[in-house]
Structure 1
Amino acid sequence: MLEDKRILLIISGGIAAYKSLDLIRQLRKRGAWVTPVLTKSAEEFVTPLSVSALSEEKAYRDLFDLTDEAEMGHIQLSRSADLIVVAPATANLMAKMATGQADDLASTLLLATDTQVLVAPAMNVRMWEHPATQRNLQMLKRDGVAFVGPNEGDMACGEYGPGRMAEPAEIVTAIENQLAEGPLTGRRIIVTSGPTHEPIDPVRYIANRSSGAQGTAIARALSMLGAEVVFVTGPADEPRPEGAHVVEVETAKEMKDAVDAALPADAAIFAAAVADWHVDGASDSKIKKQDGKIPSLSFAENPDILASVSQSGKERPALVVGFAAETDDVIENATRKRVRKGCDWIVANDVSPETGIMGGRENAVVLISDAGAEHWPRMEKDAVARQLAERIAAALENN
């Protein structure tokens, strides 16, 4: 897929810059040509010589290089690539991109191009979560910039949380998705998956039996058709879909916040089994037995993510798809749900224990839309995902 593709790789300053060397190696192994550009701070972490040796190309560093600029080199560099990749992207470079600054070679290249840009952020968790960075992130997404990561984990500074640069293999998959000539190329799609866990106390929670298998398969199928996928998942054991931007949450409120942050999008697929209620006033300490007395729990309603997005006005995706897991009157209940929520489609299934669908590898769904109820045969969840992804691509084709 990457054979003879030209990648302009911008490396900015940060400890994660060392991963760019492996990224170059993996891209070259797949036949891609990599032209590296280093910011001044990037040279504190990787050398131009190592980058140049691995890429077998000159490493560009200076905006005012008279040899390069005699032919307006920064313009040529920015427009000769099939894709521009920024890995790692620091908070500083993201801020420059969002505000249109061009005070060095990297930022000038990014401003002087009409080529698709893929960004792999890497920074301290506090910097990533800062309102300014989140504001810049949303501005860049609205401008059509694609993102891979950041991931959650331990950081060089000793803190833990989101901010780690995506691994080189993840970035390669994201590059392949960006360059894929699939029907969803250039489309941004949100997929929710898995259960939510609503705490009772620090050691107990309310959940359901969702495995996340169907949502994961849908995210994977959409990525294979070229979509940029934001995958918002509750606690689930399924391997995360490669190439998707994964956001891990626990509660329904966290899932809603993650979905809101991922908007705008072309489509939103709500496959998660979100808990309808949470414990009102969950205990901060473990609830102990008290002479056989049964504790009394008070419940409050969780936010309705599907209805909220379906009725969100100008930010509403062109296609909103909900899921309905039912144990009886499947079509009737799902049809009413579609009208009540205001979504375009409902994917309904019978999850009665005897079906083996909840937590199993197969599914039998009914697609409910304005056209009525369409029964699909029972098949592997991967096959359901591929068929649904193709339908989504066809529906978005004219939008």
Structure 2
Amino acid sequence: MSVEATEDRLVEEWKDWRRAHHERLADPHGFLAITGLHWLDEEPRRFPDAPGAWSTGPGGVVVTLDEGDELVVDGTPVRGEHGFGVLPERGGVTAFWKDAAIEVAKRGGHDIIRPRHPDNPLRAAFQGTPDYDHDPRWIVTGRYVPFDEPRPTTVGAAVEGLEHVYDAPGRVEFELGGDTVSLIARLLANLRGDYLGDEDTRIQSPGNVQRPRLQPHSPGLLDRVWYGGTSLRSVRWAGEHRLNLLSGNIVLGETGDDFVSAQVGLIEEYRRLHPSGRVAIGRVVVPLDGADAATRERYRAYAASRHERTLKPHGERRILFAPDLVGTSAEIVERLRADRAVAAVSELRLEPPYEFGLDDYEHERRAGM
């Protein structure tokens, strides 16, 4: 087979992969159809995008459906109370409700449900993922370098606060531009402004020929990169690689039984390794300023439905949740002033709940949050 024929085949394989990838994203029950991630505990709770009341315990996930509601599980309609059993890590079951799919799964040692609705605006607006054309220069052969023994390796997730830990048996190294690199080393170098590829790598355009690097080039970009950390392992990684640390409203209870104590412990561990690094934390805020009585009641009910989860660690990994800050702007400021984790950092990110709609976000903007 000629070089040209091989290249044509690779291009067609790339196009087939891209097409299949977009089809998966646009699927009526695909990733973009997810409307919420709900963490379950022993207390039965209701969610706006799923039927019934959901809980979990030693026997696994249980849902109690209202009269007239029905789920279809493995092709069988179920009504009333239904148990999904104990799920393995990264395992799950999909139940169907009307035109929605309710994913029941275990992630990070914790039972969750993720409803998937075809009319989710994120899916409805999807028009494809921007990408680059196939380029054979970036097809390289890697070398597997085994560790003396497997190392627990933390891998982030698309959802803030959720991490997966896998036992990595080794790492992959490869040659690029005459250098031996690993993926993380190359990433950090590119963020610093190093050129992509080797000395001979060039981009030719009608106007000029230039060496490629991340554009637009921004001196000091690496110093402005934030790494999300929810565990001791992840904050140590950020500190060792001299990245700024961002800690949100979910952490692991490795240094304390309550959220604030655990988060302060993570901040202290990070600063032990990188004293000059910037640290920011996030808090979910719901201001009541300017809201009518019905909206205020809805906001308070939303926070109350999530309060139970903040009272103790959850699952094998001891996941801890920060309470939502609901009140007038003055009341929210007072609670922030009393927060020891807020006092330990110089930068704060205020976040509206992910489950809110555009009108709610507009309200928070008008309230000045």
Common topology (TM > 0.5):
no
TM-score bin, normalised by smaller chain: under 0.3
Instruction: Please give the TM-score of this superposition, normalised by the length of structure 2.
Output: 0.27
Which of the pair is proportionally richer in strand? Answer: 2
Instruction: Please give the TM-score of this superposition, normalised by the length of structure 1.
Output: 0.25
